[in-house]
Structure 1
Amino acid sequence: MPAPRKADPVNQEYELKAKNLLKGELKRKGITYAQLAEKLAVIGVNETEKNLNNKISRGGFTAAFLLECFDAIGEREIRL
């Protein structure tokens, strides 16, 4: 039986990359999780500061969430 996707080392590697990508952009722009929550609310995505902290810390968020965050903070380029 294959390992669950969450336990897959390759998946974990990409979750870490996604987390670091988002955290890096937030830091570069000086945006806190509280500010991100406000900016997300403007585009119709309701997340609390605590939920954002947990979700981003885990790194297991969807590509859609990553794009919502980039849209909310006005970032139009993703540098991999």
Structure 2
Amino acid sequence: MEITVKITDLKNMVDQLIEDKIEYVDITYLEEDECDGDILPSSLHFDAYDGYGGGIDYDSIEHVKVDADYKNHD
């Protein structure tokens, strides 16, 4: 199981979790799926513990397709 995400997307998620004072988070890998004919890309989904017995559902970060030599495509 492998997923490629943009570092800026990952950093933005961590920044949001820190801003919300989240200490613990479950990160779930969701495989590519189909819903009503649409392809949903694989993603990382974040569910945080609020510390009081509940959870907070955060957005997911979607997989991105990138060539190994992506910097040569400018």
- What TM-score, normalized to structure 1? 0.30
Higher relative contact order (CA 8 A, sep 6+): 1
Larger Rg: 2
- What TM-score, normalized to structure 2? 0.32
More helix by share: 1
More strand by share: 2
